[in-house]
Amino acid sequence: MMGEEFYCSLKLISGEEIFSLICVDENDGDPIIILQNPVIMKIQQSMSGMVIKIKPWMEVPDDDFYFVKLDKIITMTEISDEMTIGFYQKYLSNEDITSIGDNGEVKITNKMGYISSVEDARKKLEDLYKNIKES
């Protein structure tokens, strides 16, 4: 009998920490955990704040589902944090959360856009200064 799906963080006996959408299959008294698109999430502190790095749990296979026996899991907890789930869903949908370089710096993408050019900003600031000065 299959249980309902929920987001979960698991710690395996190998030491790996995995985040995934999971379901439990009660397989005749020997439960099997079904992981859907499992990832490894690392929260790191940088000079500019916190950074969340997400990568697939299994790098080579192209499968979406993995089966883990209950005896391979040290602990697991249901995750309901909307921000964590949102990052996970954006990662799966291939949306560009932010492009982060190897050194941790955020790379500028075309989706970010610019507010104005240096020339436009200089012109607006000069006009603003002139208006204040004339008042």
Is the pTM above the cut of 0.95? no
What fold does the segment set 6-104 form as a domain? Answer: SH3 type barrels. (2.30.30)
pLDDT tens figures, 78-96: 999 888 888 898 888 875 5
Nearest by Cα to 37 from 15, 5, 69: 5
Q: Is 28 left (phi over 0), alpha (psi -120 to 50) or beta?
A: left
Tokens of 4: 């309902």
Mean of pLDDT values over 8-31: 91
pLDDT tens figures, 25-66: 887 778 899 999 999 998 888 777 777 888 899 888 778 899
